[in-house]
Amino acid sequence: MNKKTKLFQLSPPRILVFGFASIILAGTVLLSLPISSSSGKPLPLVDALFTATSATCVTGLIVVDTGSYFSLFGQLVILSLIQIGGLGFMTMATLFALVLRKRISLRERLILQEAMNQISLEGIVRLIRKVMLYAFGTEAAGALIYALRFSRDMNGEQAVYFGIFHAVSLFNNAGFDLFGNSLMNYVEDPVINAASIFLIVTGGLGFVVISDLVDCAKSKYKRRLSLHTKVVLTATAILISVGTLVVFVFEYTNAKTLGSLDLAGKIWASLFQAVTPRTAGANTLSIADLRQATQFFMIILMFIGASPGSTGGGIKTTTFMTLVGAIISMARGKEDIVMFRHRLARDRIYKAVTITLLSLFLIVAVSMVLSATEDHQFLMILFETTSAFGTVGLSMGLTAKLTLFGKIMISFMMFTGRLGPLTLTYALGKKKDKELYRHPEGKIIIG
């Protein structure tokens, strides 16, 4: 059996792991070339690997400043990795296949189903077409707004380039920037804040939700949103509202963050810091200067993350809402989890619990290991680890100080967070065999 045949016999999760790993490897090679740095000196291999992983996994954690260290070629490599990583390599491959009028095989549809986290194969290629339209359309709109605003601070050509780079970065929830301090110079700017929040939230909602909203708005026959869309929109609204309130209250008197801003600036900054932990990575306030209560709350938001089928990471909003629904149902003494008059299937509940526990175990384990190898405060290590897993990119300043082992561990967390712990488990595990029998039911005491 030749290598090509073996590759096509791999399961969809293994193909996704192999595909993302290949892109990261290619990015590592390109970023380690002398042409990628502004000084002409090659970037150390481990730093190139870290940066390529961060870009492909749309995280935004950096060991060198993107705007000053990398040349135009290096920045374009990073931008390409962000775009491929955010939309998914299979999505991009499908785009080229559609342009060339190539038929999408059943196996390719199965891989797309896994990549987009869809329940069924129905309409998967049609969804990919919509993904491309929504993604590039939103990025173009964001780039135009950014360019017009940046043109007040820099020449036109640079403003256009900065606009494109930051629109792609924020829509894909990557968090890479060319300013060196993210968007802290625009903390009170309503245009930059509004455009950034729109890009982040749109990229984090998930393409299925965007498609559902557009179809509902366009069609006079389709008037009802799907259960998935309702749950995602509800979770997003709750997390952003609560997050804004928490940041506003905890940081109101902090002279290093909100304290020096006027009321409008405080509201914009609080809203931005509530949105960005949902895996975006950009910031308008210094994360290291936030109070510990705010930093810990942001860890929770980073752990929850964005929504399924989006450019973001985390355990996902639907997983979080399923767990909340389970708590409410148990407290009320009810057997089923009901949302918007729909009962959730048992396999969805098991999957939510499994993803949450796997993610918690991974973050705790890596944080414990890094606390032994990195000489820094535990909260800083936990923040960095969760940020990497949630593909967020926010940092309290630890990234540049990581040891060689620390960079490898954080790179592993970014890779796992982008693919999802369950996908990685399926990829590494043995092929599932159908059970031919069931064991007798037993009972244990819980609680």
pLDDT tens digits, one per residue of 401-439: 999 999 999 999 999 988 887 776 766 665 556 667 777
How many CB atoms are located within 10 Å of the residue 353 CB? Answer: 14
pLDDT tens digits, one per residue of 311-337: 788 999 999 999 999 999 989 888 889
Say what the pLDDT of residue 5 is: 47
Rounded to an integer, what distance in angstroms lies between the CA atom of residue 151 and that of residue 168? 18
Q: Is the pLDDT of residue 343 over 70?
A: yes
Say what the pLDDT of residue 217 is: 76
User: In the structure, what pLDDT confidence band is assigned to residue 223 with cuts at 50, 70 and 90?
Assistant: low
Q: Is the pLDDT of residue 150 over 70?
A: yes
Residue 278 · residue 204 · CB < 8 Å: yes
Angle between helices 12-31 and 45-56 (to 10 degrees): 130
The residue among 363, 372, 409, 413 whose CA lies nearest residue 393 is 413
Rounded to an integer, what distance in angstroms lies between the CA atom of residue 161 and that of residue 143? 9
Rounded to an integer, what distance in angstroms lies between the CA atom of residue 437 and that of residue 349? 22
Q: Is the pLDDT of residue 218 over 90?
A: no
Query: Would you call 18 exposed, middle or buried from its count of C-beta atoms within 10 A (0-12, 13-18, 19+)?
Result: middle
Q: Is the pLDDT of residue 18 over 80?
A: yes
Greater pLDDT, 333 or 268? 268
Query: Which pairs with CB-CB distance under 8 Å and at least 24 residues apart come from 13-17?
Result: 13/114, 13/423, 13/424, 13/426, 13/427, 14/426, 14/427, 15/111, 16/90, 16/111, 16/114, 16/115, 16/419, 16/423, 16/427, 17/419, 17/423, 17/424, 17/427
Take residue 186 and report the two structure tokens written for it.
């625009």
How many CB atoms are located within 10 Å of the residue 241 CB? Answer: 12
Q: Is the pLDDT of residue 172 over 60?
A: yes
Q: Where are the domains of the chain?
A: 7-426
- DSSP letter at 222 equals -
Q: Which of 32-36, 77-81, 410-414, 441-445 has the lowest mean pLDDT?
A: 441-445
The strand ranges marked E within 265-389 are 338-339, 342-343
Mean pLDDT, residues 270-294 taken together: 94
The residue among 369, 313, 315 whose CA lies nearest residue 61 is 313
Rounded to an integer, what distance in angstroms lies between the CA atom of residue 359 and that of residue 363? 6
pLDDT tens digits, one per residue of 134-143: 889 999 999 9
- Mean of per-residue pLDDT scores for the chain: 87
Take residue 101 and report the two structure tokens written for it.
């009028």
Q: Is the pLDDT of residue 295 over 60?
A: yes
- DSSP letter at 437 equals -
